[in-house]
């Protein structure tokens, strides 16, 4: 994992935090709320792991051209028997969930005006390169477009009722156009197919626009080295920045210090090697944190880390005070007593 720190078990030693053991402490587990975002769910939805091969205009495995959306195509995709008393248009207009995943659709999603009532659209694993047509789904709340060919987010600003957005495994270089999405609660943009050395960017205006509502953000595997732009996300509860290029916990301190952050993934970043105790640093930064890299943060661990931090701070402050006295004594031609020096260097 690359992360090192205190074992999450109650009553375990704390050697990773400086060699001092927690003495016979037992942690009483309080009932924890259901996880907002489990790791298994995360992996299946965002495509963490191997980045899929770029898709071609013609599916190489089948050798047939891309499909376009038609009324007949939608009727077949719905898969429900049309009531005899309804016309095809009426039947399509009643649909709320539309499953179009893995059907070689592309390059856009035209003709969606036949299904204006859809609020959940599954269109992942296609060859869609444009969001054109989505503006016809004014009621859309959940959009699954992972593993397509998207290079921009033009048109997403029309989806003002969007709550969940899945765009992992595309070719996006910038997350933008979300200012009008005031109800957005989850954004999943992991594993963009980017050129070496190119990192995913976040539009500051979009982040400010969705900050009041956003609860879950996943952006693993995007070569990100700086996430200061995410600072306004004070209502975030689950954050995945694993497998990026973050060198220090402090480079993500603005977003980690969010008062509601419960879960965070930071493994497979340089900080996991450069900062041996990055878990402790996260515990100190995130006041409500319950889970780091899939491992629970127990009350006994949180208390130990905070006490250790206080001891280190007192020691540093004491050293500074003694150094001031040393300097004053030297300038006055007198030296402090030996016991005082012994206190600094036991």
Do residues 269 and 242 make contact, with C-beta atoms less than 8 angstroms apart?
yes
Strand partners, 164: 142, 186
pLDDT of residue 139: 97
> In this structure, is residue 31 part of a structural domain?
no
pLDDT of residue 41: 43
pLDDT of residue 84: 87
* Structural domain containing residue 168: 43-307
pLDDT of residue 262: 97
List the Cα angle 118/122/124 in 5-degree steps.
150
- Report the mean per-residue pLDDT for the chain: 80
Whether the upstream peptide bond of residue 36 has omega within 30° of 0, thus cis, is no
Are 336 and 248 contained in the same domain?
A: no
pLDDT of residue 63: 56
Place of tokens 């890299």: 293
> In this structure, is residue 13 part of a structural domain?
no
> In this structure, is residue 276 part of a structural domain?
yes
> In this structure, is residue 17 part of a structural domain?
no
Q: What is the number of structural domains in the chain?
A: 2
Residue 45 has pLDDT above 60, yes or no: no
Are 202 and 327 contained in the same domain?
A: no
- Indicate which CATH number applies to the domain containing 257: 3.80.10.10
Which secondary-structure segment (H or E) carries 75?
Answer: helix 71-78
Are 303 and 325 contained in the same domain?
A: no
Are 253 and 325 contained in the same domain?
A: no
pLDDT of residue 275: 61
Q: pLDDT confidence of 313, banded at 50, 70, 90? A: confident
Place of tokens 């340089």: 270
Q: pLDDT confidence of 251, banded at 50, 70, 90? A: confident
160-198 confidence digits (pLDDT tens): 999 999 999 999 999 999 999 999 999 999 999 999 999
Q: Which long-range contacts (CB under 8 A, 24 or more apart) does 56-62 make?
A: 56/127, 57/106, 57/127, 59/104, 59/127, 62/104
Whether the upstream peptide bond of residue 107 has omega within 30° of 0, thus cis, is yes
List the Cα angle 295/298/301 in 5-degree steps.
100
316-345 confidence digits (pLDDT tens): 776 655 565 555 555 555 444 434 333 333
> In this structure, is residue 155 part of a structural domain?
yes
Residue 109 has pLDDT above 80, yes or no: yes
Are 126 and 191 contained in the same domain?
A: yes
């Amino acid at each position: 994992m690359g992360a090192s720190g205190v074992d999450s078990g109650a009553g375990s030693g704390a050697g990773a935090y400086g060699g001092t053991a927690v003495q016979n402490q037992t942690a009483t587990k309080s009932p924890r709320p259901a996880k907002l975002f489990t790791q298994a769910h995360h992996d299946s939805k965002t495509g963490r792991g191997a980045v899929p091969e770029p898709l071609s205009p013609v599916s190489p495995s089948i050798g047939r051209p891309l499909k376009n959306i038609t009324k007949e195509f939608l009727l077949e995709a719905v898969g429900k028997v049309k009531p005899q008393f309804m016309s095809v248009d009426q039947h399509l207009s009643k649909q709320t969930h539309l499953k179009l995943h893995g059907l070689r659709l592309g390059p856009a999603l035209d003709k969606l005006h036949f299904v204006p009532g859809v609020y959940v659209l599954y269109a992942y694993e296609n060859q869609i390169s444009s969001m054109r047509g989505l503006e016809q789904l004014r009621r859309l709340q959940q959009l699954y477009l992972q593993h397509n060919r998207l290079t921009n987010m033009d048109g997403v600003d029309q989806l003002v009722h969007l709550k969940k957005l899945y765009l992992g495994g595309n070719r996006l270089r910038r997350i933008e156009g979300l200012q009008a999405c005031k109800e957005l609660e989850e954004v999943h943009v992991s594993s963009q197919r980017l050129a070496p050395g190119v990192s995913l960017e976040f539009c500051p205006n979009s982040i400010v626009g969705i900050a009041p509502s956003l609860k879950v953000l996943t952006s693993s595997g995007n070569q990100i080295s700086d996430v200061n732009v995410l600072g306004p996300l004070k209502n975030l509860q689950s954050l995945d920045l694993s497998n990026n290029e973050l060198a220090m916990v402090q480079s993500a301190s603005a977003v980690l210090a969010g008062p509601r952050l419960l879960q965070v993934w930071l493994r497979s970043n340089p900080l996991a090697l450069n900062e041996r105790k990055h878990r402790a640093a996260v515990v100190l930064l995130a006041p409500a944190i319950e889970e780091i890299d899939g491992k629970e943060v127990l009350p006994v661990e949180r208390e130990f880390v905070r006490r250790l931090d206080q001891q280190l701070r007192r020691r540093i402050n004491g050293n500074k005070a003694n150094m001031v006295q040393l300097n004053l004594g030297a300038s006055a031609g007198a030296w402090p007593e030996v016991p005082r020096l012994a206190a600094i260097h036991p």
